[in-house]
Structure 1
């Protein structure tokens, strides 16, 4: 499962020539404010009397505090002009996402020196970070109470969550890709070399062996999983044997993830696996994804990576869903069907919907189990990590779930600003028909995270300009 905790190193700084106590006072005000905004704050209060970065001698001490705590990001807070060389040296040693901000200066007194010149120092620190080729996130020089600061800080914490989990991605690959699916071909070596992403392959036989072992034993894991199925789903359409086949497959995949340290799955969900374990994977995929172990169908390695990115953007506080982009809405020219056989988590179903589970009918004959429900309407974000020729991009876009014709499987009709433009973007880009989705608007978080993970952000709607304006509070 993804790690939902985020630690941010609090690197408050001041310049010594500003002797007014406001610099020290703002260190405490800022700390008290952000401490209640979710992420764990790691303070450097013990490195000197003030707990501020002021002199080069402070660098080594601050870096040790942050490394010992294994922070996921660093917050450079300019309490007055700030000390750009010291702040930049700390950031360089950590190589973590960086947030730069300072509180807006007060009105100058007509007959006194200015007390902080915080904004002036922000220009200096920005240049120092560039000297070290360090990407950073910037929140405008607004007042501590301005909602732009709170929104930006919380969004930065989500960015840190993405970066942290992206770099820890280890995908359980169950069997090879389906032969006809050229679309999911990927370069496993390149994923390791560029991003440190690991793929752990297992065979269909490995999965079958584990399900058969579970059948022979009175495993408490099977009992717990069965209760989970019964509490989450309407199972009237399947037999006892069919239910147990699906339950054992669920336990087997989850155990293979645990044993091999994997936080996501790319599964060959077609006939060979179904024949081996006498179960389709749709319901299994939906419940594992709801557990925080996202499952990508059709052995889509890039799809699993996409899912980890999107799940991390919301700190695993809500379930994501893995979808096919399938057909256009018959009446709404800007809506598209997001669908898959049955892998959308039951917690996403529209209010009052029966969590109906039936047999999946196909060439092999009826197989347990396929889910049937529409998911909730409202704001949604979808994305797709993909690439070719050594270049990787993240498609990013927002829309909303709307009314549309009913269909089998799990689905949503997704309305955007200009579907023909989206369609062209998808077809001409390095993308396929798979994407991950989540309820809510997180495009700005996905966009900002790309600068830290070595992926080109590719926003469709909102646009690059609109996202950057959002970070500025517009």
Structure 2
């Protein structure tokens, strides 16, 4: 299934009626020529409210789902901001820099107009994306449009997302029990089901004629010796169960993510751990979070939209032992020991993000808990384990706190090319000033143990998406550089 929005951009030029309309039109055409992607050029240049209605109607007929509102000159304050009110999709506001040669009849004053545009958006409580420096030439604005696309994709995705859950959120993982009020405020729909609903559907997929094809794909993906052949049929059956449920339960929504209860009852009743299947769905753009972590699933989906790549969800799990730091990190990487930690989960990270030694194995912790001491692993098999491959990363989460407020954090770093010497799907992460970030954002602001991971540096886009989704600026945490104190940080420490 196609689980990602396709952004269809339109550009609408606006013009203050005491400025030459040709200035906006000529500059709009230059942007269209400079931008290398698909960009619908609205023929209506907006000077008044009637023009605004015509322009919005035109871009809707063209099936645009995101807009660039371009101040080719000073721009009409009311009509240009009402575009954002009447258009059902994210809008970016940008303005033309001078440089056409004629500073008498060719001066547009859009630098000034952007101030009034911003003021009027705030007066009307309208959200618009305004780049860091929103004034530029055609080439400059073409670059801004390129940066807007993943931001728009994430906003469109969230507004059309349904999160499907199975099972109550675990008693001993209260971090997964965040209020769902924030989901509705974001425009996300939620469908909560029991584990029994899932089990019934799973049994109905027994002997599904598609199972052999999925088994063959699993074997091809993992390679001989890296999976349990006797488990493939059950896991293929489960994969088809989830895919069919997603298709049949989308309802009025276009996109889905799952948040499933994966223990302690699941393995004994289904006969395997769901982790490898979860990883396969994540690699295909359908995030499946563990432990009914609803906001983890939401965070993963946002990261999927931004990066247009597979994401994962990991525990911010354990510190890096000093002997590993001394042997493999000190002198090779410019990080202190407290900048590092291990991100771990039982085996939900997509295969494409792991080292070549990865394999389907068993869940050691669940084996200790659920199967007889000293026995061979049976139904606790099914995790995808191995070290996660070295990569740039963005570590982040969007969460609803105990007061029902949306809060978030974003930090960029990397996974180091260092063996973990451990089990599970795991990697050694390094984030500049992680120790202080851990204490004064993650601990201080009461974030849970799960963090989502994008494989690349996408902090800039993530920060803008959070703002557009309505997260307050003082509720977005990030890792402060050395020398910049957190509000809660002891100045004498």
TM-score normalised by the chain length of structure 2: 0.84
Secondary structure at the counterpart of residue 370 of structure 2: coil
State whether structure 2 residue 466 is matched by structure 1 residue 455: no
Task: After TM superposition, give the deviation of residue 228 of structure 1 in Å.
Answer: 2.1
Greater CA drift, 161-170 or 2-11: 2-11
Contact 1:236 1:357 in 2 (8 A): no
1:431 aligned residue: 447
Structure 1 distance, partners of 2:270, 2:188, is: 29
1:33 aligned residue: 34
Structure 1 distance, partners of 2:229, 2:281, is: 21
Task: After TM superposition, give the deviation of residue 247 of structure 1 in Å.
Answer: 1.7
Task: After TM superposition, give the deviation of residue 334 of structure 1 in Å.
Answer: 0.8
Spell out, residue by residue over 1:48-102, the C-alpha distance to the aligned partner (whole angstroms, 9 max, x if none). xxx3112332122112123445543321112223222321222222254331212
State whether structure 2 residue 346 is matched by structure 1 residue 341: yes
Q: For residues 445 and 55 of structure 1, do their structure 2 counterparts lie closer, same or farther at Cα, with a shift above 3 Å needed?
A: same
Structure 2 distance, partners of 1:265, 1:162, is: 17
State whether structure 2 residue 145 is matched by structure 1 residue 145: no
Structure 1 distance, partners of 2:52, 2:22, is: 22
State whether structure 2 residue 403 is matched by structure 1 residue 398: no
Structure 1 distance, partners of 2:226, 2:106, is: 75
Runs of 4+ more than 6 Å apart: none
Q: For residues 26 and 19 of structure 1, do their structure 2 counterparts lie closer, same or farther at Cα, with a shift above 3 Å needed?
A: same
Task: After TM superposition, give the deviation of residue 230 of structure 1 in Å.
Answer: 1.1
Structure 1 distance, partners of 2:182, 2:23, is: 48
Write the mapping of 1:305-344 to structure 2, written as runs, cut at 5 A: 305-314=298-307, 316=308, 318-330=309-321, 331=325, 332-344=337-349
Spell out, residue by residue over 1:3-62, the C-alpha distance to the aligned partner (whole angstroms, 9 max, x if none). 23112331111233333844322121112223x23xx434322xxxxx311233212211
1:43 aligned residue: 41
Contact 2:84 2:128 in 1 (8 A): no
Spell out, residue by residue over 1:169-198, the C-alpha distance to the aligned partner (whole angstroms, 9 max, x if none). 21111111222111211223x145422322
Contact 1:11 1:87 in 2 (8 A): no
Task: After TM superposition, give the deviation of residue 355 of structure 1 in Å.
Answer: 3.4
Spell out, residue by residue over 1:296-335, the C-alpha distance to the aligned partner (whole angstroms, 9 max, x if none). 1111111111111111112x3x110110101111223211
Write the mapping of 1:15-30 to structure 2, written as runs, cut at 5 A: 15-19=16-20, 21-30=22-31
State whether structure 2 residue 187 is matched by structure 1 residue 196: yes
Spell out, residue by residue over 1:384-434, the C-alpha distance to the aligned partner (whole angstroms, 9 max, x if none). 111221211121111111133332111221101112112111111131110
Task: After TM superposition, give the deviation of residue 281 of structure 1 in Å.
Answer: 0.9
Contact 1:173 1:265 in 2 (8 A): yes
State whether structure 2 residue 202 is matched by structure 1 residue 211: yes
Greater CA drift, 249-258 or 115-124: 115-124
Task: After TM superposition, give the deviation of residue 109 of structure 1 in Å.
Answer: 5.1
Contact 1:398 1:462 in 2 (8 A): no
State whether structure 2 residue 346 is matched by structure 1 residue 355: no
Secondary structure at the counterpart of residue 191 of structure 2: strand
1:251 aligned residue: 240
Structure 1 distance, partners of 2:227, 2:391, is: 32
Contact 2:31 2:142 in 1 (8 A): no
Task: After TM superposition, give the deviation of residue 371 of structure 1 in Å.
Answer: 1.4
Structure 1 distance, partners of 2:166, 2:463, is: 30
Task: Give the alignment partner of residue 437 of structure 2, picking from 422, 432, 435.
Answer: 422
Structure 2 distance, partners of 1:213, 1:440, is: 40
Structure 1 distance, partners of 2:125, 2:227, is: 58
Spell out, residue by residue over 1:262-289, the C-alpha distance to the aligned partner (whole angstroms, 9 max, x if none). 6111111112111111010110111011
Contact 1:398 1:416 in 2 (8 A): yes
Spell out, residue by residue over 1:346-396, the C-alpha distance to the aligned partner (whole angstroms, 9 max, x if none). 01123xx13311233413332331212222223210111112212111211
Secondary structure at the counterpart of residue 145 of structure 1: helix
State whether structure 2 residue 247 is matched by structure 1 residue 231: no
Write the mapping of 1:60-209 to structure 2, written as runs, cut at 5 A: 60-69=53-62, 71-94=64-87, 96-106=89-99, 112-139=104-131, 140=133, 141-146=135-140, 149-188=141-180, 190-209=181-200
Spell out, residue by residue over 1:217-258, the C-alpha distance to the aligned partner (whole angstroms, 9 max, x if none). 3422x1232122112114536543322122211221222122
1:469 aligned residue: none
1:48 aligned residue: none
2:491 aligned residue: none
2:293 aligned residue: 300
Structure 1 distance, partners of 2:14, 2:21, is: 14
Q: For residues 260 and 109 of structure 1, do their structure 2 counterparts lie closer, same or farther at Cα, with a shift above 3 Å needed?
A: closer
Structure 1 distance, partners of 2:208, 2:84, is: 53
Contact 2:275 2:383 in 1 (8 A): yes
2:334 aligned residue: none
Greater CA drift, 227-236 or 273-282: 227-236
Secondary structure at the counterpart of residue 386 of structure 2: strand
- Aligned-pair Cα RMSD in Å: 2.3
Unaligned runs of 5+ in 2: 326-336, 372-376, 485-493
State whether structure 2 residue 422 is matched by structure 1 residue 410: no
Greater CA drift, 376-385 or 60-69: 60-69
